Amino acid sequence: MMLVTLRIVTLVTLSFGLPQPGHAQQDSTTTMLRSLLRRLDSLERVVADLRASQRDTTQAIDEVAALRTAARAAAGETASNAEGQSRTRNLQILNPEISVTGDVVGSMSAASQESAAFTGTPREFEFSFQAALDPYTRTKVFITREEDFEIAGAPEPEAPAANGSAPVEEARTFEIEEGYMYWVGLPGGLGAKIGKFRQEIGLYNRWHTHALPEVERPLATTTFLGEDGLIQTGASIALPTITLGSVTQSLTFEVARGSNEVLFERGSQMSYLGRLQNFFDISSASYLQLGATGVYGKNSEADLESRLLGLDLAFRWNPGAGSYQDLQLKGEWYFLEQNAGPETLSGNGGYLQANYRLNRQWILGTRADHVNFVDNTPNIFQLVPSLTWWQSEWVRLRLQYNMLRPSGGDANHTVLLQFVWAMGPHKHETY
């Protein structure tokens, strides 16, 4: 990937910075355009393979965006230098890349000794707009239309809130889930972004719901971060990674308006997040990741102060060399403490997860959730096995079973069938 990145930077620099006169300039630009398009086709095949094996596609997608920017610039220069040709077509290079994703879930739920009930929900439709603004800056905007979706017996996201206020009812309509600008290639390897974004906490908070390895987010994340996860407006800076032998460390700091409904009850004061990640290369086919995240913030109007600690680990084994076999083991645990006036409340919970890719299309998975509530609320345990079939890069089907049991209570049983499809250049981004 590093070699590809260096070639991209070189090509981008050439496409913007080589002044040549007359026909020589047009011939040079045409040759460059052909080279860029060949590299773009090759890199898009790499991205397709990464998605098929559920690998991290972020860097590859950013490189594709850089190539497209350079190719469009070269195409625009060629068109503007052609005699008698209109320049209005050059406006197409200003258009963002647009993708659309649909997520429909059907469920059949039944508590013990009760009859089953079937429901179907078009849970989410997402419109993605992404563009390379220049060789150093990118932007992403995700507009979503969501419907309420609940697993039978699952706790309300507001359960651990300190003052026990009633949840705010909201009409589901089109809204901006994320909209931010970020910089790449900053001096020293820094990374920065600003806007509304999914914050760097845990293993799946940055993932959009349709890209998750199960139908829904784990109980712990919805309990302590809210139904949609930790999404706030602010700024983020990622410090340069440090490599010591086989260990690589990364550190991220974020400042945002504390608008999360669970942690800050839709406040407006600043919240602060710090995340440390450690990556250990165990062998050429496996690695281990350990992470820790702290979140702190206040809401003076609600007399609320929240502190959240998250610990996570991930192990991955992939033999490589064209094999689609892949084993991933992941887990997270959260500890929440909230002060509301003289009262202090706390809770904790987490999950363990295993996913094994049998081949290019089939994935077996299972997840175990456990949440400890405050105020003598019963603890909850949930078991979630699933089977995922990738019909193609654009279409995915999933069959899932949820067994949710409060301590001392009856179990709730739910069978879920999920259909996810995508069109456009950006399909199911993972991080």
pLDDT digits over 388-421, tens only?
999 998 999 999 999 999 887 888 999 999 999 9
Confidence of residue 272 (pLDDT cuts 50, 70, 90): very high
Q: What is the pLDDT of residue 85?
A: 46
Helices (H), 373-428: none
Asked whether residue 101 carries a pLDDT value surpassing 90, the answer given is yes
CA 187 to chain centre: 25
Q: Backbone phi, then psi, for 199, in 5-degree steps? A: -85, 165
pLDDT confidence of residue 19? 41
Helix axes 22-52, 58-81, angle to 10 degrees: 160
pLDDT value at 74 more than 60:
no
Q: Give residue 200's pLDDT.
A: 96
| Beta bridge mates, 247 | 244, 280
**Per-residue pLDDT tens digits for 363-373:** 999 999 999 97
From residue 20, alpha-carbon distances to 25, 27, 370 in Å are 5, 10, 65
- Give me the pLDDT at residue 159, please: 44
Of all residues in the chain, the percent with pLDDT exceeding 70 is 70
Residue 272 has which token pair? 């602060």
* Mean of pLDDT values over 116-144: 88
Using DSSP's 3-state secondary structure scheme, residue 24 falls into helix
Span 91-100, mean pLDDT?
A: 79
**Mean pLDDT for the stretch of residues 101-127:** 80
Q: Which of 377, 312, 400 is nearest to 108 (CA)?
A: 400
What pLDDT, on a 0 to 100 scale, did the predictor assign at position 359?
92
- Range list of H helices, 213-372: 219-225
Using the predicted structure, report yes or no on whether residue 34 has a pLDDT greater than 60. Answer: yes
Burial of 337 (0-12, 13-18, 19+ CB in 10 A): middle
Output the CA–CA distances (angstroms, integers) from residue 123 to 86, 149, 395, 417, 418, in the order listed.
Answer: 45, 7, 16, 12, 10
Is pLDDT above 70 for 84?
no
Integer-rounded Cα Rg, in Å, for the chain is 24
